[in-house]
């Protein structure tokens, strides 16, 4: 009798194990598979060649603002003459907090309907250690995503997902390498949707940048 009971328990144990595995997979996969692109960001030409703030109202009706400042009190960012190792604090508001974004310096495409890139530092490392709230961690590229599943892989949370406000900490990498040459190509400090909505260009904002020397 005890042996029979053990045999009867195995199917339920297997089902429970499958639920534990498949439910998180479904939570992650379904939003990606069902996402509908929202259009373009509609960022126009900037009033100055190398601004530190840009705004645009996307096809989704959201008005987004992207700003870069120096982490040093009273310091200024010369976006026309960045240097390797320089640290930047990038902030944004008006973004869709239900969607993750990457923040990085990328090649500006000729067509705004094309994904920006390649980018300095590539795609943020999705195997990095989890970043605790309030932690300042500089890197060539940052990943912002408020979904609990992606935060387990190192994504930084939005400061306020309701208003789409975020802060990213960029350490400027080598402008040449992995298909990027910001000495010869026009580059910008970009936000764009992460891998959960790669083809959606509505959150593509950029601050044009160049490098010293």
Beta bridge partners of 134: none
| pTM, rounded to two decimals | 0.81
| pLDDT in the model for residue 212 | 94
Per-residue DSSP letter, 71? S
pLDDT digits (tens, 9 = 90+) for 139-158: 999 999 988 776 666 789 99
Q: How many CB atoms lie within 10 A of CB 12?
A: 9
Report whether pLDDT(65) > 70: yes
Q: Which residues, including other chains, have CB under 8 Å from residue 31's CB and lie 6 or more apart? A: 196
CATH T-level fold of 40-209: Immunoglobulin-like (2.60.40)
Which tops the pLDDT comparison, 52 or 48?
A: 52
């Amino acid at each position: 009798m005890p042996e029979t009971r053990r045999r009867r328990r195995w199917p339920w144990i297997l089902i429970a194990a499958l639920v534990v595995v498949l439910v998180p997979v479904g939570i992650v996969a379904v939003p990606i598979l069902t996402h509908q692109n929202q259009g373009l960001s509609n960022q126009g030409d900037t009033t100055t060649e190398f601004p530190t703030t840009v705004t645009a109202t996307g096809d989704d009706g959201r008005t987004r603002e992207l700003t870069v400042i120096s982490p040093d009190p009273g310091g200024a960012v010369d976006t026309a003459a960045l240097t390797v190792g320089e640290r930047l604090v990038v902030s944004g508001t008006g973004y869709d907090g239900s969607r993750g974004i990457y923040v990085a310096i990328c090649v500006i495409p000729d067509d705004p309907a094309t994904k920006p890139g390649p980018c300095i530092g590539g795609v943020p490392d999705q195997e990095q250690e989890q970043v605790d709230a309030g932690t300042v961690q500089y890197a060539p590229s940052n990943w912002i995503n408020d979904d609990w599943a992606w935060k387990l892989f190192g994504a930084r949370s939005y400061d306020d997902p309701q208003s789409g406000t975020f802060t990213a900490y960029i350490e400027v990498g080598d402008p040449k390498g992995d298909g990027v040459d910001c000495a010869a190509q026009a580059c910008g400090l970009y936000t764009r949707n992460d891998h959960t909505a790669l083809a959606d260009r509505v959150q593509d904002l950029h601050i044009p940048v160049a490098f010293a020397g």
